[in-house]
Amino acid sequence: MLSALGIRNFVIVETLDLEFASGFTVLTGETGAGKSILIEALSLALGARAESGVVRPGAERAEVVAEFLIPEGSPARRWLQENDLLPEEGCVLRRVVDVSGKSRGYINGTSVPVQQLKVLSEWLLDIHGQHAHQSLQKSANQSALLDAYGGTAELAQAVRAAFSRWQDARQRRDEWQSRSEALLEEKARLRDDVRELEALDLGAGSWEALQAEQARLAHAASLQEGAQFALDALAEADDAVQARLQAVADRLDGLTAFDPSLQPGADLIASARIQLDEAVHALRRYAMGVEIDEEGLHRAEARMQSVLAAARRHRVKPEMLPGHLEGLAERLATLESAGSGAALEKAAAAAEAEFRHQAQALSEKRAVAAAALGKTVTETMGLLAMGSGVFDIVLTPVERASAAGLDEVEFRVSAHASRAPEPLARVASGGELSRISLAIQAALISVSSVPTLIFDEVDTGIGGRVAEIVGRLLESLGERHQVICVTHLPQVAARGRHHLSVTKSEQGGAVNSTIQVLSREARVEELARMLGGVTITQTTRRHAAELLGH
């Protein structure tokens, strides 16, 4: 439960420290005193949107600290443990907002994203706003309330997920059907292209090798003639270099005996003669191997033309054809593995069957919850001076299934049992809507595990005997939960176990709102003010004391 709240420089609150107890606590004050500021500050600590306007004029930042007692085994404690945020005892939420609107959130001293504050707050506290009755007129909110009461919120989420999967499967099937002809044409074209390029049998470096082969075959005659010319000059002509070099070597060998310093030159000539002999042998082998291969040349040139033609058709360079073939083959494999229309149709049918199975289960459980909630709210309406009224929840099958399921939830009400219930917005007045909203919230609270409940002027539009009954209802809720209620009704305020009063003062042009815990005597004065307005008489004080004595 909420144990303490600290507020610094928030709107018109300069400094405020409050401690809270279990049971039913009421918060009262004159109009404009800032009763709802406590709710707004607490909402900020729990992850509500932060704006620069919440910072008190003249201050650099606003700060709100909310402390909660977390019992063993509670969902909040488990969540804190799972996120390594659990201290030895309690839980402290802190939110800081600077004048630029930037905010920081903390859980037990650890900086956390605001989203984590919101997640944790769902286990700690529920706030029922003064305009909650207005949201009752929306079908989506009615479904959410019914699911909360019946414990089908998770199943409703599963139905939404199943519906999304069904729609995705339908879309894939429909896209296939609309594109099937084009896809078939693309696959046929890809198969032809892949066969064509595979027939060329090109690999890495194939184009370069083909170019070299064509050049060799095209110049075979010149190569042969050049090799023979070199052989003649080096070895086969009358004045061939080989014979002349041999003569020089022989002459120098005879002279080295007379002068050893001539030997290095003779050795180099001997080495040159050996290399020349090897060159002659290599040229003879080459000349013997060179053939004029016209057919081979024609084949090479034809293959080059085929490669060039393929490169032009596919708009790539010849050396890029192997990589291009790989890309085409991958695209073809993707299309081949995409499945057939029959497979997609089967998948869509299976997704629809799964959705309808879960949606039917949701409808059945909602029907049971609708009957129970309708009965409970009707009984509570009787307590709230709508004794002959009837509250009914109707599930109407829809023509087209949706993420919400197979039916539409509609809250209906009749002011008299003799009349058939009609849609809530059509027959209920503002005051009736307020009472019906409170009756629904009371029913939901009976199945809620959230320890702290805050009601922000949910008693708007009611008074007299009904106000006293509302006070009793909230008091009974306080026996099972910590209940904090902002109210303007003395009949409700008198039912509180604890009473906080909001006052607003102005000093030096600065407005400040404060909250104090009232003693019994102070409560009598506050209730008298709420009963009598500007002039408080002894009669109103006696009436206030009687209310408080109940």
The CATH number of residue 46's host domain is: 3.40.50.300
Domain match, 192 and 106 both: no
Domain match, 123 and 187 both: no
pLDDT by residue (tens digit) across 490-519?
999 999 999 999 888 877 777 888 888 999
Domain match, 212 and 300 both: yes
Does residue 226 lie within any of the structural domains?
Answer: yes
- Of 297, 312, 337, which residue is a domain's last? 337
Q: Of 489, 429, 485, which is closest to residue 465 (Cα–Cα)?
A: 489
pLDDT by residue (tens digit) across 284-299?
887 776 677 677 778 7
Q: How confident is the model at residue 367 (pLDDT cuts 50, 70, 90)?
A: very high
Does residue 533 lie within any of the structural domains?
Answer: no
d(CA 121, CA 287): 94
- The more confident residue out of 168 and 383 is 168
Q: How far is CA 407 from the centre of its chain?
A: 28
Domain match, 103 and 250 both: no
Q: What is the pLDDT of residue 342?
A: 81
Domain match, 122 and 191 both: no
- Of 303, 337, 371, which residue is a domain's last? 337
Task: Look at the pTM and tell me if it is higher than 0.75.
Answer: no
Does residue 49 lie within any of the structural domains?
Answer: yes
d(CA 331, CA 190): 8
Whether residue 62 contacts residue 97, with contact meaning beta carbons closer than 8 Å, is answered with yes
Whether residue 403 contacts residue 159, with contact meaning beta carbons closer than 8 Å, is answered with yes
Domain match, 313 and 187 both: yes
pLDDT by residue (tens digit) across 9-54?
998 888 999 999 999 999 998 876 677 888 889 999 999 888 888 9
Domain match, 242 and 105 both: no
Structural domains in the chain (count): 2
Q: How confident is the model at residue 429 (pLDDT cuts 50, 70, 90)?
A: low
d(CA 428, CA 382): 15
Whether residue 393 contacts residue 146, with contact meaning beta carbons closer than 8 Å, is answered with yes
Q: Percent of the chain beyond pLDDT 90?
A: 31
- Of 337, 363, 398, which residue is a domain's last? 337
Domain match, 111 and 206 both: no
pLDDT by residue (tens digit) across 204-238?
778 888 777 777 777 766 777 787 788 778 877 77
Domain match, 193 and 119 both: no
Does residue 454 lie within any of the structural domains?
Answer: no
Domain match, 20 and 115 both: yes
Q: In terms of residue numbers, what domain contains 286?
A: 182-337
Domain match, 277 and 210 both: yes
Q: What is the mean pLDDT of residues 516-529?
A: 91
Does residue 34 lie within any of the structural domains?
Answer: yes
Does residue 362 lie within any of the structural domains?
Answer: no
Does residue 274 lie within any of the structural domains?
Answer: yes
Domain match, 74 and 200 both: no
Helix, strand, coil in percent for the chain, rounding step 5 = 60, 20, 25
